[in-house]
Amino acid sequence: LLAILCAVALGVAFAWIVLMVQGLNSDLREANEARDALAKQVAQLGEKPVAGPPGSRGDPDEAKPGPRGPRGPA
């Protein structure tokens, strides 16, 4: 009986996790579509959108160390 209860509880937990992941996937898809629509509107108004479709972040710059910060207390 205990094994059956544990199996049912495990199944319920797994189903809950699957449903949550599907919900998050849907939310992310909607957010990406809204971002893309906003970027398109900004471009239509003649401005350069800050956000755009995935992969539109530009070319990576050469990595350089920044300036040295102030010395901390001894």
Q: Tens-of-pLDDT digits for all 74 residues of the chain? A: 999 999 999 999 999 999 999 999 999 999 988 988 988 898 899 988 776 566 555 566 677 778 898 999 88
The predicted structure's pLDDT at residue 17: 97
CB atoms within 10 A of CB 11: 10
Q: Nearest 5°: phi and psi at 60? A: -70, 145
CB atoms within 10 A of CB 58: 7
Residues 6+ apart with CB under 8 A from 7: none
Maximum C-alpha span of the chain: 68
Query: Does the global pTM surpass 0.75?
Result: no
Spatial separation of the C-alpha atoms in residues 62 and 64, rounded to whole Å: 6
The predicted structure's pLDDT at residue 5: 96
